């Protein structure tokens, strides 16, 4: 097994190993170590089937069943299809997943620890995923901003309908009903703006424009400009790694200290299909 950094800020590629079959306890410990160090791992030439993807993901913790059940595989509820491919006029998967900067399921009390995404079909152009390191972003904040956010909690909400910073894709025909349903199912939650990583102890910025809509106990007049400042800061080029997918890639990322964004840039009949599995995390502190 070879582990090689992908950029100065984030990511390592892991090659020469079949992660579904070859990872004994010692090799898995090396993968976990690399995961904590590089935060984004690209396993090359995997082509995992859903059962193998679920088996590998489960080594990191309990798996989540995504709320958008319509796109979970019928025989593998822990695998959700992301795709712009069409069947009977409708998409076969979530067509707009990750179309603004976010960290997965931060609108839950216990958001996702990590996400595993297996490339099933890649478009001829576009389809890159951008990642930004929130540990670096936090460390680089000016002292006065660190003081303003210290001990503060941000409010997270899943609905795009209540978030003026994000757009609803025209591909998402079910958006109105879906987001209204999410609002009914999930009360707003708050999490610390500065999150401590449970494994490394490092502090990271834990806000992003997709789900973070306010700051607890702070008027919007003060909170919204502060969030705008944090959102602009957190995606400065020096914190970002842009992943260009290869056939067979399985990527995983640490949602506790990384935000990501599916950059798009392709349209049907150019098809992008991914299989996504998320691992349950702990309550941020
Ligand atoms: C996601 O945000 O979960 C998906 C990212 C991608 O498809 O690149």
Chain segment 175-234, per-residue pLDDT in tens:
899 999 999 999 999 999 999 999 999 999 999 999 999 999 999 999 999 999 999 999
Better pLDDT: 173 or 84: 84
Share of the chain above pLDDT 90, in %: 94
* Ligand 1 centre distance from Cα of residue 276 (Å): 8
* Ligand 1 centre distance from Cα of residue 242 (Å): 13
Q: Which atom of ligand 1 is nearest to the CA of 127?
A: 8
* Candidates 96, 99, 104, 249; catalytic one: 104
- Check pLDDT > 90 for residue 173: no
Mutate to test the pocket of ligand 1, among 79, 83, 113, 115 (most ligand atoms within 8 A of CB): 115
Question: By C-alpha distance, which of 276, 268, 228, 282 is closest to 101?
Answer: 228
Q: Is 120 in the pocket of ligand 1 (CB under 6 A)?
A: no
- Check pLDDT > 90 for residue 94: yes
3-state secondary structure string, the chain? CEEEECCCCCCEEEECCCCCCCCCHHHHHHHHHHHHHHCEEEECCCCCCHHHHHHHHCCCCCECCCCCHHHEECCEEEEEEEECCEECCEECCECCCCCCCECCCCCCCCCEEEEEEEEEECCCCCCCEEEEEHHHHHHCCCHHHHHHHCCCEEEECCCHHHCCCCCCCCCCCCHHHHHHHHHHHCCCEEEECEEECCCCCCEEECCCCCCEEEECCCCHHHHHHHHHHHHHHHCCHHHEEEECCCCCCEEEEECCCEEEEECCCCCCCCCCEEEEEEEECCCCC
Catalytic (active site) residue 276: yes
Give the list of residues 6+ apart from residue 77 with CB closer than 8 angstroms, or none.
65, 69
For ligand 1, atom 7, name the residue with the nearest CA. Answer: 262
- pLDDT range class, residue 93, cuts 50, 70, 90: very high
CA distance 118 to 99: 18
Mutate to test the pocket of ligand 1, among 67, 114, 129 (most ligand atoms within 8 A of CB): 129
Q: What is the pLDDT of residue 135?
A: 98
The pLDDT tens digits for 191-201 are 999 999 999 99
For ligand 1, atom 4, name the residue with the nearest CA. Answer: 98
Do residues 66 and 120 lie in contact, with contact meaning Cβ atoms separated by under 8 Å? no
Q: Is 83 in the pocket of ligand 1 (CB under 6 A)?
A: no
Catalytic (active site) residue 260: yes
For ligand 1, atom 3, name the residue with the nearest CA. Answer: 98
* Ligand 1 centre distance from Cα of residue 53 (Å): 16
The superfamily (CATH) of domain 2-280 is Clavaminate synthase-like (3.60.130.10)
Q: Is 259 in the pocket of ligand 1 (CB under 6 A)?
A: no
């Amino acid at each position: 097994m070879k582990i090689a950094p992908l950029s100065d800020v984030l990511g390592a590629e892991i090659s020469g190993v079949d992660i579904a079959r070859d990872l004994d306890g010692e090799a898995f410990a090396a993968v976990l170590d690399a995961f904590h160090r590089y935060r984004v791992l690209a396993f090359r030439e995997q082509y995992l089937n859903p059962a193998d993807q679920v088996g590998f993901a489960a080594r990191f913790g309990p798996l989540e069943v995504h709320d958008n059940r319509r796109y979970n595989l019928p025989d593998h509820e822990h695998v959700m299809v992301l795709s712009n491919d069409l069947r009977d006029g409708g998409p076969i998967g979530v067509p707009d997943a990750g179309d603004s900067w976010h960290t997965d399921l931060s609108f839950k009390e216990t958001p996702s620890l990590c996400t595993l995404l297996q490339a099933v079909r890649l478009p001829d152009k576009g389809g890159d995923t951008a990642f930004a390191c929130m540990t670096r972003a936090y460390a680089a904040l000016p002292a006065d901003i660190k003081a303003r956010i210290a001990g503060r909690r941000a409010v997270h909400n899943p609905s795009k309908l209540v978030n003026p910073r994000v757009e609803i894709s025209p591909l998402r025909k079910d958006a109105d009903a879906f987001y209204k349903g999410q609002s009914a199912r999930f009360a707003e939650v708050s999490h610390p703006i500065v999150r401590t990583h449970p494994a490394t102890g490092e502090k990271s910025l834990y806000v992003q424009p997709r789900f973070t809509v306010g700051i607890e106990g702070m008027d919007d007049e003060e909170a919204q400009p502060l969030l705008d400042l944090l959102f602009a800061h957190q995606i400065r080029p020096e914190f970002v790694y842009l992943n260009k997918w290869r056939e067979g890639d399985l990527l995983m990322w640490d949602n506790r200290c990384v935000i990501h964004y599916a950059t798009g840039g392709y349209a049907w009949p150019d098809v992008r299909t991914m299989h996504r599995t998320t691992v349950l995390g702990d309550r941020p502190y």
